[in-house]
């Protein structure tokens, strides 16, 4: 007689709902942002201020971010905020509830020769011939489910990086910070929440966390909700054994036995949300970054040059007007431009926000939409601004990009989930399978001509130029390898797409432009 396995989604639901219920009298919800969805998306950074609920809006609190982050091993959370706003309190309450007093560790870093070490929770120091010797303790490396690092910008950055990356090295030994997932050969990574005071805070001697450090986290500005919550925060305090209370209630709801080590890694197994972004969301990232994070004229110029090399003259441009200068002014608040890790951040943050929306809507799923990606880009941009910059200035650029892309998607009548490039290419494939290479090429160029129209804004021009330049590169690739493309088009059904993929992998080393511009289309 077979035993029915528990439904992972139900376990996830009961874990999260029990967690919120247990923490209801402990943690005051501090509003972080509000996502409003309609024709376009709008993200408002609330800075601790609550707003009246409106249709099609999702309020995201600090606790929402903490809870949702438990389900992802791809990233960790970093809060920047002045002393006393609740960074440590909120994280400690959450961790005490899930892991108990012995299942998580809090460390406060400090500078100086005798300062505390980020490796401290995972090492043991003994005296050997009167000389202290520090070595990795394998048991400690798999002891904790979570770590809170306070004043992270005061510690040794190389030690911090090791801990965050989950692999630590001490005196030739290596330790892996993780716990086994029962019933599998995989591991659940260490959950990390870090905190720091702003470098410009009054009486602060803290330094800005360097770029390499910030790139390892999803950084949020921890709002000060005291003015909003007032005396209601006095009712929120830790009382009783939250850990026992939580797991007793969870067992009652689900029938699952055992403690956090037996249940938590299974419930929060990162494999359940390992899904990739679809063609539409990937394309929007490609197109939007050239507008929100870089000088649009430079982006346009680079893409226009590619188009002209391929024999296509753009029918649009970017004017040097007040709107353009406002874009540059907003971008001037960025400490630095986008780097490789930012792309991963946008993906991860999109998944995080999608999951939070899923929790609040009752689906408990993370189905990433275009709006989630737009919100993710906006939050990443905010994390890259100079400390003290007003909230929300860069979100205007994201909204412009979102509206421009949506208009293009609608204009071309592209199905949801498909990118513009992907849809044009697949239409060309279908035509080529029926009528040969000329039909393939004609359909591809018809799509190019359909997109090469007048643009009414800098956002439209920038995004249009990126998509068109990519398609022009595809046109060049197809002509350069005509005989191989002809052979691919003769394949049956999905065999054509497989043949194109093989051709791309074989030929992409001929030019970096193929790798950069065609991978997200053909691969």
Give the DSSP H or E segment for 30: none
CATH 3.40.50.300 spans which residues of the chain? 8-273
Give the DSSP H or E segment for 143: none
| Mean pLDDT on 169-195 | 93
Per-residue CA distances from 48 to 59, 151, 353, 411 (Å)? 11, 22, 18, 39
Q: How far apart are CA 457 and CA 112, in angstroms?
A: 52
pLDDT of res. 208: 60
pLDDT of res. 60: 94
> Among residues of the chain, what percentage have pLDDT more than 90?
53
Cα of first residue to Cα of last residue in the chain, in angstroms, is 45
| Mean pLDDT on 34-47 | 80
| Mean pLDDT on 161-165 | 90
| Mean pLDDT on 392-410 | 86
Q: Which of 201, 217, 108 is nearest to 209 (CA)?
A: 217
Q: How far apart are CA 522 and CA 432, in angstroms?
A: 15
Per-residue CA distances from 59 to 40, 52, 367 (Å)? 17, 10, 18
The CATH architecture assigned to 8-273 reads: 3-Layer(aba) Sandwich (3.40)
| Mean pLDDT on 192-212 | 67
pLDDT of res. 131: 78
Residue range 484-509, pLDDT digits in tens = 999 999 998 899 999 999 999 999 99
| Mean pLDDT on 198-203 | 56
- Work out the burial of residue 18: count CB atoms within 10 Å of its CB; fewer than 13 is exposed, 13-18 middle, 19 or more buried: buried
Q: How far apart are CA 348 and CA 401, in angstroms?
A: 20
Handedness of CA 338, 344, 345, 349 (dihedral sign): positive
**What are the residues whose beta carbons fall under 8 Å from the beta carbon of 54, sequence distance 6 or more?**
36
Question: Assign residue 269 a region: left if phi > 0, alpha if psi is -120 to 50, beta otherwise?
Answer: beta
**Residue 203 banded pLDDT, cuts 50, 70, 90:** very low
Neighbours of 483 (CB within 10 A): 8
Model confidence at 479: pLDDT above 60: yes
**Residue 175 banded pLDDT, cuts 50, 70, 90:** very high
Residue range 240-299, pLDDT digits in tens = 689 999 999 999 999 999 999 999 999 999 888 877 688 899 899 988 999 998 999 999
**What are the residues whose beta carbons fall under 8 Å from the beta carbon of 229, sequence distance 6 or more?**
28, 30
Contact 446, 437 (CB under 8 A): no
Q: How far apart are CA 304 and CA 465, in angstroms?
A: 6
């Amino acid at each position: 007689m077979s035993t029915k396995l528990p439904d992972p989604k139900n376990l996830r639901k009961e874990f999260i709902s029990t967690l919120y219920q247990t923490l209801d009298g402990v943690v005051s919800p501090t509003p972080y942002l509000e996502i409003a969805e309609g024709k376009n998306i709008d993200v408002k950074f609330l800075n601790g201020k609550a707003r009246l609920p409106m249709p099609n809006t999702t309020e995201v609190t600090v606790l929402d971010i903490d809870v949702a982050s438990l389900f992802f091993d791809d990233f960790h959370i970093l809060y920047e905020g002045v002393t006393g706003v609740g960074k440590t309190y909120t994280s400690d309450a959450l961790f005490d509830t899930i892991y108990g007093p012995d299942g998580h560790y809090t460390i406060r870093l400090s500078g100086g020769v005798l300062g505390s070490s980020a490796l401290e929770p995972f090492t043991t120091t003994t005296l050997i011939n009167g000389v202290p010797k520090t070595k990795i303790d394998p048991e400690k490396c798999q002891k904790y489910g979570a770590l809170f690092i306070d004043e992270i910008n005061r510690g040794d950055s190389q030690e911090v990086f090791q801990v965050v990356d989950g692999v630590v090295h001490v005196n030739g030994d290596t330790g892996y910070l993780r716990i086994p997932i029962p019933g599998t050969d995989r591991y659940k990574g260490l959950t990390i929440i870090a905190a720091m005071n702003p470098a410009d805070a009054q009486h602060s001697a803290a330094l800005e966390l360097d770029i390499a450090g910030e790139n390892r986290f999803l950084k949020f500005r921890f709002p000060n909700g005291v003015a909003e919550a007032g005396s209601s925060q006095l009712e929120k305090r830790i009382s009783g054994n939250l850990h026992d209370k939580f797991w007793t209630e969870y067992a009652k709801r689900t029938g699952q036995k055992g403690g956090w080590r037996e249940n938590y890694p299974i419930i929060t197994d990162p494999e359940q949300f390992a899904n990739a972004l679809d063609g539409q969301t990937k394309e929007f990232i490609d197109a939007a970054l050239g507008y929100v994070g870089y000088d649009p004229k430079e982006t346009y110029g680079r893409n226009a040059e590619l188009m002209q090399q391929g024999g296509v003259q753009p029918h649009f441009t970017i004017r040097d007007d007040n709107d353009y200068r406002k874009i540059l002014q907003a971008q001037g608040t960025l400490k630095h431009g986008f780097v490789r890790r930012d792309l991963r951040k946008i993906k991860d943050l999109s998944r995080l926000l999608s999951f939070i929306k899923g929790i609040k809507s009752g689906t408990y799923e993370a189905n990433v939409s275009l709006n989630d990606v737009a919100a993710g880009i906006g939050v990443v941009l905010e994390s890259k601004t100079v400390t003290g910059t007003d909230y929300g200035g860069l979100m205007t650029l994201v909204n412009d990009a979102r509206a421009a892309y949506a208009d293009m998607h609608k204009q071309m009548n592209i199905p949801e989930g498909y990118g513009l490039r992907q849809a044009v290419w697949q239409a060309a494939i279908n035509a080529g399978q029926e009528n040969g290479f000329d039909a393939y090429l004609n359909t591809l160029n018809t799509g190019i001509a359909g997109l090469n129209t007048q643009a009414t804004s800098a956002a439209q021009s920038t995004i249009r130029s990126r998509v068109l330049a990519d398609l022009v590169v595809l046109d060049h690739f197809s002509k350069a390898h005509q005989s191989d493309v002809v052979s691919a088009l003769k394949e049956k059904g999905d065999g054509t797409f497989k043949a194109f993929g093989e051709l791309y992998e074989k030929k992409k080393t001929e030019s970096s432009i193929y790798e950069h511009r065609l991978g997200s289309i053909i691969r």
